[in-house]
């Protein structure tokens, strides 16, 4: 399924060498100076490390979302990847970018008002991920139901973009297949990434309050 990007505007210590990232190609230099390609697992760790560093280096909130979306597209190629920022004053989630079938890009824009008891509101208030086997049959789906129906989404994963006890947004991953979406290690990676985004958004919020 073709997807289009829409956006607003350290790994372990390897005993056999030192990990380098040269021109985007992970290379291992051994103790005797020879170079060899690293394993897929090590490459995945290198990509994660680069994503986390890019998030830390972002100079404004708008820079975060393209970084995360590009990483998720490469590592978690779900039909739907959607990031939203939490607006406390309006108690809503404002779309900040994502990927979807090309003809449905407009579905990623706009905001979603939060209603008590609905899935998105529970993710924000309870600050914990939620996994839904079939969003279209979920009674708590609320305003996500029209989106799921429009995009043909069944399985759904929702992660809060959190820092400690504060929620700054939501990551919504959707699959066109029924059932749980991610393995244990994949959920751990998503928790790390969303936690880093939450910490960055918290930092930007502090800077914004300091200039008021």
Confidence label for 13 from pLDDT (cuts 50, 70 and 90): very low
Could you tell me which of 54, 33, 51, 41 has the C-alpha nearest to residue 12? 41
27 vs 42: CA distance, rounded Å: 10
> pLDDT digit string (tens) for 129-186?
999 999 988 989 998 888 888 888 999 999 999 999 999 999 999 998 888 668 889 9
> pLDDT digit string (tens) for 25-42?
444 455 555 566 788 889
Alpha helices (H) along the chain: 40-57, 61-75, 119-126, 144-151, 184-210
């Amino acid at each position: 399924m073709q997807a289009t990007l829409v956006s607003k505007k350290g790994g372990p210590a390897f005993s056999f060498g030192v990990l380098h990232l040269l021109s985007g190609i992970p290379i291992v230099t051994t103790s005797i100076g020879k170079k060899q390609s690293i394993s897929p697992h090590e490459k995945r760790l290198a990509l994660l490390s680069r994503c986390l560093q890019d998030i830390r280096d972002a100079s404004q909130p708008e820079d975060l979302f393209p970084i995360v979306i590009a990483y998720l597209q490469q590592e978690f190629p779900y039909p739907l990847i959607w990031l939203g920022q939490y607006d406390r004053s309006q108690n809503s989630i404002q779309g900040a970018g994502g990927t979807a079938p090309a003809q449905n890009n407009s579905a990623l824009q706009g905001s979603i008002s939060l209603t008590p008891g609905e899935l998105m509101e529970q993710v924000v208030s309870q600050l914990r991920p939620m996994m839904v086997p079939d969003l279209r049959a979920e009674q708590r789906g609320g305003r996500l139901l029209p989106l799921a129906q429009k995009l043909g989404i069944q399985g759904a994963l929702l992660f809060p973009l959190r820092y400690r006890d504060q929620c700054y947004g939501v990551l919504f991953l959707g699959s066109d297949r029924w059932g749980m979406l991610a393995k244990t290690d994949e959920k751990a990676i998503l928790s790390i990434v969303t936690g880093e985004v939450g910490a960055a958004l918290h930092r930007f919020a502090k800077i914004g309050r300091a200039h008021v």
